Structure 1
């Protein structure tokens, strides 16, 4: 049997623990592959009782047989303060540990893919965490373990759209300076390679947005399309990568336009994530490309306002589990 997936619990004050419990509870109906959760076992048990979800637990990574009757929980060295709805700096060490342990397990072959529940960045920053988010931190961990530089690339993948932001967790005012020809080219290379190797798309078609309204209107509303984005697309075509643009972002995401490409390459975070989430919020998955292992995540955040109220929907987490399963199985 293939190794199980491993799920990090995310911020324990958010909806991550609830989604994991609900995913395990629906394992038969949803036909979910076996997984283990990296968490504080006591918090998982307490949250199960609080929500009235009958989820027996067993400590360890488990296997298909144990998964059928109990949720495998890999204990963390750092325990959690159980306070739903209140993100706490005291929980940062455990949240970070779970991510680190997940990278270790998948790198060692004890797990075959990582699924991450949502984190809150503010308490992590208060505890000294120096990475913008999950994506960048996993790139750092992979580079350390594999001994080579990594460029992690975020892709939002849903049934109707795959969208990739070239720049991610930076202020909008900083995007023009961060957007370089080299960054666009390297991002598109990774997207094309992973769409071929992990999604089975023989010759991926990449539609590249402009940065400015109307893709700059020939330079009247900015020159990034002329000086940066256009030359990057030319370089990609010279390498044999099917990329075209720059295209006005406001006409790229309607149904007919989406038929013409396999992934939309966008210039900044919201340009990619707004259409992806608007089209299929509950089914869209955050996938990290460019790493030597598979990592997926739900496309939503911690939702502190509804934590432990029993109303959080596990659809996106289940979609992330299914995608991680498909991407990590041998061809």
Structure 2
């Protein structure tokens, strides 16, 4: 009987001066019997780093042109493939160099191509430094926005998730109605059409990529005490509640709005599949307190699967040399992408 096919995961290694290349190598190697990782980055640099981490790590470099012509089937099972995206400047750990900005951005283009062409099943991204790409002369606001633009996706949703741990009795998923906005701009950004589409995207992706037949979504209010019947704000009355009712009429299992300060309790979360927070810190402060370094960032609404770690480039750790970075968030990101790929294939 043939061995089951392993999910093929494209893994961009992120900012070369940060911990991205190290955690990508270590996490991918540790999970090589669960997934088939395809690293995307500078092959020579990754080979040097791999030898420093563990001489047992075996890599095989290929060009994107070779992959276009022959695919990835020729890579031996005992090696991890690296699609070579050469850097422009020598890497000094902990020191950013804008000369490498365009090469880092190119790894994202290659990763998107690998999924669109069917060579890989999902993309996992290591952290990159936005400033390096902007300093290279390319306007760049982040992975999420870039993937949306490149895949012609009009609206995506940022969701962070974590597995059960010592601080959390069950898995937790928190999606965001707004992301990286100044707090003063959040109320105006919560518009009925956008909020309804956000709820629909969460519902569809939890069903199709997480295998949940009828996801239960809890929605947080914007204001303290969810507006206190209008005394502390009217967004709940004028926007959030009508949108929830509209989504319910469309068959979505969604409820709220709930006061955010009491929503994150076991009695509410026990049967919930996702919490929709109105703004970044409202939801992510809770999740990161319970799971920082163990979580995964997931972009919902894309035509492809994309996950990432829940932390940044950690230049200070990279400057200390290999062995200081925690790979657990990267491992969770890879495993989550694999599960989503399997669910999407079977749906």
1:74 aligns with 2:52: no
Q: Give runs of ≥4 in structure 1 deviating > 6 Å.
A: none
Q: CA deviation at 1:161?
A: 0.6
Q: 1:13 aligns with which of 9, 17, 26?
A: 17
Q: How does 1:163-202 map to 2 (within 5 A)?
A: 163-202=174-213
Q: Equivalents in 2 of 1:65, 1:108: separation in Å? A: 17
Q: Deviations over 1:111-153 (max 9, x none)?
A: 111010011112222233334211111011111xxxxx43221
Q: Deviations over 1:38-63 (max 9, x none)?
A: 10012112323444554232113755
Q: Deviations over 1:195-249 (max 9, x none)?
A: 1111111111111011112112222222211222112112111211121111111
Q: TM-score, normalised by structure 2?
A: 0.87
Q: Which runs of 5+ in 2 are unaligned?
A: 164-170
Cα distance, 1:14–1:214 mapped onto 2, change above 3 Å: same
Q: Which runs of 5+ in 1 are unaligned?
A: 144-148
CA contact (8 A) 2:6 2:35 kept: no
Q: Secondary structure at the match of 1:12?
A: coil
CA contact (8 A) 2:221 2:277 kept: yes
Q: Deviations over 1:53-112 (max 9, x none)?
A: 5423211375596242x3311011544531111222122111110001100110010111
Q: CA deviation at 1:309?
A: 3.9
1:321 aligns with 2:321: no
1:99 aligns with 2:108: yes
Aligned length: 323
Q: CA deviation at 1:174?
A: 1.6
Q: TM-score, normalised by structure 1?
A: 0.91
**Corresponding residue number in structure 2 for 1:146:** none
Q: 1:242 aligns with which of 253, 270, 274?
A: 253
Which is worse superposed, 124-133 or 190-199? Answer: 124-133
Q: How does 1:122-201 map to 2 (within 5 A)?
A: 122-143=131-152, 149-159=153-163, 160-201=171-212
Q: 1:255 aligns with which of 263, 266, 269?
A: 266
Q: 1:116 aligns with which of 125, 146, 152?
A: 125
CA contact (8 A) 2:28 2:331 kept: no
Q: Cα RMSD (Å) of the superposition?
A: 2.0
Q: Equivalents in 1 of 2:184, 2:50: separation in Å? A: 43
